[in-house]
């Protein structure tokens, strides 16, 4: 279990490497790391150099924290994340989010690659997450109560902040983007789901499925951060189409969606900064 002392050591290291104190942070999912290159005057910190930071072993996750300015907005950008399926405990998975919270981040934008369960959706589209189903069997709040991180019993009624969802919808309209909305179901992975499991998830009300985001959202909500999550729909989930699933397909579609996501973030991030 990551201790508060370990979290604070990571905070102190990052704080010593940059004078910027962003209030907005973006976490980039599979194949989406190129967004970090659009920061100006950026400082790059490898996860391997940040005390106690877990390092990703997944292709498509770079493993660096960038601190810089994006269209005049001070911003933290996490290029890559770790997942529980890599063997990390929930505390390790959410340590970067907790560090960002103690650094002063108030609004957190999570991006991910997801499979579309809703048959009205198509690969290449973006989906705003309005709610989630935690099917990982894990929760980062389990364990000793640490009031410095927030309450043990976390209210998840508005885990994805309505004001940020509205701001993202407005940003999408301004650039002429038709963005979907839906429920994200998070699984442990790393095996992809079976067709029978996807049928079950559709019955439960899920629109997209992935292997990240929910633990980070719980930790951020506990720390009273506003969360926005955007899923890049890289493929149709198992059984929706006849062909098999492959991580390479996820990465390739992530590259194709990247320009659309970058355009959306360019319109959205200044609006989030103004909203506080």
85 is catalytic: yes
247 is catalytic: yes
Catalytic residue among 30, 64, 112, 118: 30
86 is catalytic: yes
30 is catalytic: yes
> Which spans in 126-222 are helix H?
162-174, 195-204, 214-222
37 is catalytic: no
Catalytic residue among 89, 156, 247, 249: 247
134 is catalytic: no
Tokens representing residue 198 in the block: 């996807």
Catalytic residue among 83, 88, 132, 161: 83
| Residues near 238 by beta carbon (within 8 Å), at least 6 away in sequence | 115, 192, 193, 194, 195, 197, 198, 245
Catalytic residue among 56, 107, 112, 235: 235
Catalytic residue among 9, 85, 197, 200: 85
Closest to 35 (Cα-Cα) out of 231, 263, 268: 263
CB atoms within 10 A of CB 162: 10
Q: Which residue has the tokens 């910190």?
A: 45
156 is catalytic: no
Tokens representing residue 240 in the block: 């929706």
Strand ranges for 106-207 from DSSP E = 107-116, 126-135, 180-187
Catalytic residue among 86, 197, 249, 263: 86
- In this structure, the chain runs to a length of 276
235 is catalytic: yes
Catalytic residue among 36, 113, 127, 135: 113
Catalytic residue among 79, 107, 134, 212: 212
144-160 burial, b at 16+ Cβ within 10 Å, e below that, comes to eebeebbeeebeeeebb
52 is catalytic: no
Q: Give the β-pairing of 180-187 and 208-210.
A: parallel
- Peptide bond preceding 190 in cis form (omega within 30 of 0): yes
Catalytic residue among 10, 171, 211, 253: 211
Catalytic residue among 61, 88, 132, 161: 61
Active-site positions read: 30, 61, 83, 85-86, 113, 211-212, 235, 247
């Amino acid at each position: 279990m990551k201790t508060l002392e370990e979290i604070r050591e990571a905070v102190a290291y990052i704080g010593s490497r940059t004078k910027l104190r962003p209030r907005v942070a973006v976490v980039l999912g599979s194949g989406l790391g190129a967004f970090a290159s659009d920061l100006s005057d950026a400082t790059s910190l490898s996860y391997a150099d940040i005390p106690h930071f877990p390092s990703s072993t997944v292709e498509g996750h770079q493993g660096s924290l960038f601190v810089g300015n994006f269209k005049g907005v001070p911003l933290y950008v996490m290029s890559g994340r770790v997942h529980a399926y890599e063997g990390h405990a929930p505390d390790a998975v959410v340590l970067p989010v907790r560090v960002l919270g103690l650094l002063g981040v108030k609004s957190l934008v999570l991006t991910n690659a997801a499979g579309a369960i809703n048959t009205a959706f198509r690969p290449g589209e973006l989906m705003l997450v309005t709610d989630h189903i935690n099917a990982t069997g894990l929760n980062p709040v389990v364990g000793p109560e640490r009031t410095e991180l927030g309450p043990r019993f976390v209210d998840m009624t508005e885990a994805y902040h309505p004001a940020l969802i509205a701001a993202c919808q407005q940003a999408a309209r301004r650039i002429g983007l038709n963005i979907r909305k839906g429920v994200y179901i998070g699984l442990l992975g790393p095996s992809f789901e079976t067709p029978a499991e996807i049928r079950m998830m559709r019955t439960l009300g899920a629109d997209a499925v992935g292997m990240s985001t929910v633990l980070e959202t719980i930790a951020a909500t506990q720390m009273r951060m506003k969360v926005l999550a955007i899923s890049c729909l890289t493929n149709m989930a198992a059984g929706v189409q006849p062909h098999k699933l492959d991580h390479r397909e996820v990465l390739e579609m992530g590259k194709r969606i990247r320009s659309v996501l970058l355009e959306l973030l360019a319109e959205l991030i200044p609006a989030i900064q103004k909203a506080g």
